[in-house]
Structure formats: C-alpha cells, structure tokens
Amino acid sequence: MGGGRWRSVSIGWASSCRDHLPAAQRDETAKMQRAKASDEESSGANSASFPTQMCGESVFFSNRTRRCTSGNAVGGRMPAARGMEFVASGVLAEAISRTSADHYVIWTGHTYPSWQVSLRSRALAQIREVGVPVPLRELLRRAARIEGSLGLDPGTVRSGVRLHQGAKPAVYLLVERNRMGDYTALTDIPYAGPAFRRIAKGAVVLDRAGRLFVECLRESPRPAQAAAQMARREDEVLPHPSLRQRTPRATIRSAPMGPADLPPELRPRPAASKTAARTPDEVTCGSDAAQLRNWREQALATDRPRTLRDVSARTRRRAMLALPHMRPLAAFAEQLRAAKPSTEVPDFDPLDGGVNAQVLFLFEKPGPMAGSSGFISRNNDDRTAEATFHFMLAAGLPRHATCLWNAVPWWNGKREVSSTELQEGAGSALGLAQLLPELRVAVLVGLRAGRVARELRQRGLVVLSSYHPSPINRAASPAKWNAIPAEWARVKQYLR
C-alpha cells in the first residue's frame, strides 16, 4: 500500500522518508544493507568508508586516504566508494616477489556483476585482455599504478583475485602454468563463466594449443603468443628467500642476485663512505648475513608494538628470513602456500626464536593484518598483536625462546574456523613441531586452538592453554583477559 509513492520519492528525501516506509519495505531495505556489508567484508578490503548525507547525495570518506567521492543513495543501498593509496616501490617489489611467476589470470570477457567502485572490481578491471593469460605479477603492477604512484594495495588485490574464484559467476580465472604449457585452475571454481561451469582444481582452462575450455567472448591467442605479449624479465624482481620455482626457466638464476639484477628503484645508491649505513634495499637476501644480523639486533634493541606498519621495517624483516634460524621455517611456510594456493600464508617473525624456540604459541587463525604485513608477529598493526607484545613482556618471556604461529595457518578471507580446517591445521602443527628441536612447551591460545592439544601431547610436549588476547575477548571478560600474562608466565618453569 503506497509502495509506488515511496519508490518515486527523490534521492534527497530518501533518508527522511525511510522511517515512514511500511514494515515490509523497511525489513527488505535492512536485509539488502546487511547483504551489501557482508559482501564488502568478504572482498578483503582494508579501508572502511563512512557515508554522510549531503544535498541529496551520499559522500564517502575513506579512512585510509581521506579522499571522498559522491554516489547516489537509492532505496538505502549505497555503494562503498574506496579511494586509492600511495604504493611505495618497495612494497610493490615485496608483494611481487612473494607471488609465483607461474600464476596467471584469464578474463573471459564477460561483465563481473558487482559494485564497480569496490576494491575487487577496480583491481580486476585492470585486466583488459580477453582470453589471454595475464601474469598475476603484472596485475599487481597495474593495480598499484593506476594513477602514477597511486593505486591499490597489492595484498588486497591478490586476496581479491582469490576470493573472486567463488563468485557467481567467476569471470577472472586464476590459473597456473604447468610444465606441459597448459594453464590449469589453481583452485576449485564453482561457477566459472556465464554458464556457471564448475572447474575443479587442476583442470585445464587453456591448453598449450590455445583452446579455451570455458565460454569466452573472444578467441584467445596461442599460449606462446600470449606469453610473448606479456613477457617480463624474471630478474626484475627480488625473489622471496623461500620461493621455490616449480618450473625451471632459463631467465631465473640459481646464484644469489646482485645489484645489477635489481630494478632501478631498488639498486644500491653510492655510499658517502665505506662506514655509511645501508638501507634494506641495498642488501640482497643472503648476500650479507652480517648486515642482516645487525638489522635484527637493532630491531630487538628498539622493539615496540606496531612497528610493522612501516614499509622499511617490513622490508628488513623480509630479508631476515634468509638468516639460518629462519630458513627451515620460511621453506615450511612456502610448502603450505603450495598446498593452499587460494589462501594467504604469512611467514614466521625473524625477531622470534625461529628453529631455536623452546615455546610455541599457537593462536587460532591469521587475521587481515597478518596478511597485510606478511608475518605472524607481535609487531603487527592491530590491537591483538599489541596486547600480545605487552603480555609477553609482563610474563617475562624472552623473545628468542618463543615462536608464534596459528592452529589454522592460512587466511582465506573468513574469520570462521571449520572442523576441516582444524584437522588440516593439526597436521601442519605437528609438521612444524618437527622443525623445532628445542621445543618443550606449546601454549594453545584460544578455544579453537585448543582442539589440536591431543596431537601435540602425543609428541611428548607440555601443552598449556590460555585465553585469547583479542579486543572482543577483552570486552567479553576483562578479568580473564587481564589474567593472560599470569597464564603465560607458567611457561618459564619449563625453559632451559
């Protein structure tokens, strides 16, 4: 009753009239808003937008960039406009180095039915070739340089591509080039293309003869031609120390990279004197172990919460993964990435004890900030990591004796933890324990992490449990939250 009248109300009066809508329409509007909010959260965006009603329009201010754009508000549904940000060359090079050279994205040419202002849509829109395998590294470059140095965060772009594989339909297909020259699906794609074709993980999407096995608006060129079009020098990227190339390539060098192999922005600058301090970009991984140890000692001497918000700190810590106490753990994390290519697996923190750790703190699951920094660390830029930093100090636990990890070691864009994930995580926790010869105690932080206790006890470890230091738990039970340092201090009796 009166529905036509309300639908014809102008945008400027939509907000004031919404309270007078019939109950059924208000419920439908609220349902659409909740669905939109859920879609934005699952897109892996790192910046929030806050709408303000002004002159019949909704103006969105991004809390990361402080840029604003305007959009119409119709029926209570408002697109979340997101601004771009400055992406430093070091951040981009770091993200590219962590991305496999064999991963590609193939666009079918069809429209992706999503908000055109969302981060995921803006990132995927950088692919303009239809039916051509575009390297994922190239997509990260394009998305980071939309307007000069302004663009989209590489970690968010990579997560958005992987999350898109579950879209309905998925028209940007994430594939991997195998040894035979075929491009196969990197993960299950339930609804590929407009026909919602199901593509299983490992199934051929584009074969070496140039035949596409999914509906495409344009005939794709042969893979050799596509590769020639998208060719990039592999030695332009400083490789992650734990990155293992599955397909040998003539352009990939087995020897450590030297300054001439780096892109111009990362090449060493002439030092004013022989004793001048060098920056993270001036040391290649594995080429100067003394410099890496010096960086580690400096970071420990000035250790404080949230230091990984700084790009140079992340760059240095990434280089420290080449230190001896971190190499087995870096290789372990890379194995998990290969087993779970559709997820994000952060690295261990080189400031912790590495393979010399006596205590393993096993949290529940990585959060978005761990995926952003690339580390499971007490120095991440979030409140849980900050609380962990202070609680470790209050408990009197030396950092070199600890190792931080998660019962579910990968981030798949969802905070929920399934029973299947916990079972798989228990197996990875046992594999990690075998890499820590000095390990004596495992502290399971959080209720869900406690579900792997049996497997760890079977290995002969002392298993303790504690409350999780998240801000949600702090609000729910302040007394338990404040008691966490005392619970962690029980570990000291087992240390050597």
Domain with residue 391: its CATH number is: 3.40.470.10
User: One-letter amino acid identity for 134?
Assistant: V
Q: Are residues 181 and 216 in the same domain?
A: yes
Q: What is the mean pLDDT of residues 386-412?
A: 95
| Burial group, residue 476, by CB count within 10 angstroms (0-12, 13-18, 19+) | exposed
Q: What is the mean pLDDT of residues 392-399?
A: 96
Q: Are residues 320 and 431 in the same domain?
A: yes
Q: Are residues 351 and 458 in the same domain?
A: yes
Residue 212 falls within a domain, yes or no?
yes
Residue 111's Cα: distance from chain center in Å?
25
Q: What is the mean pLDDT of residues 304-318?
A: 90
Residue 359's Cα: distance from chain center in Å?
26
| Burial group, residue 466, by CB count within 10 angstroms (0-12, 13-18, 19+) | buried
Q: What is the mean pLDDT of residues 53-79?
A: 36
Q: Are residues 299 and 406 in the same domain?
A: yes
Higher pLDDT, 36 or 267: 36
Give the chain's mean pLDDT: 74
Q: How many angstroms separate the Cα of 58 from the Cα of each of 12, 69, 130?
A: 9, 9, 35
In which residue are the tokens 């590609």 written?
A: 104
Q: Kindly report, residue by residue over 16-63, the tens digit of the pLDDT.
A: 444 444 555 556 556 555 554 544 444 433 333 333 333 333 333 333
40 is in which domain, residue-wise?
3-71
Rounded to whole angstroms, the Cα distance separating 396 from 489 reads 7
Residue 129 falls within a domain, yes or no?
yes
Rounded to whole angstroms, the Cα distance separating 227 from 235 reads 16
Residue 275 falls within a domain, yes or no?
no
Looking at 41, 71, 101, which one is the last position of a domain? 71
Residue 303 falls within a domain, yes or no?
yes
Q: Are residues 311 and 189 in the same domain?
A: no
Question: Residue 480 has what pLDDT?
Answer: 95
Higher pLDDT, 468 or 45: 468
Residue 76 falls within a domain, yes or no?
no
List phi, psi (to 5°) of 465. Answer: -135, 155
Q: Are residues 357 and 393 in the same domain?
A: yes
**Contact yes or no for 32/79 (Cβ under 8 A):** no
Question: Residue 471 has what pLDDT?
Answer: 92
**Contact yes or no for 386/471 (Cβ under 8 A):** no
Q: Are residues 292 and 433 in the same domain?
A: yes
Question: Residue 4 has what pLDDT?
Answer: 45
Structurally, the chain folds into a number of domains equal to: 3
Determine how β-strand 347-348 pairs with β-strand 402-406.
unpaired
Residue 474 — very low, low, confident or very high, per pLDDT cuts 50/70/90?
A: very high
pTM above 0.75, yes or no: no
Q: Are residues 305 and 388 in the same domain?
A: yes
Question: Residue 257 has what pLDDT?
Answer: 38
Higher pLDDT, 112 or 345: 345
Q: Are residues 58 and 109 in the same domain?
A: no
Residue 268 falls within a domain, yes or no?
no
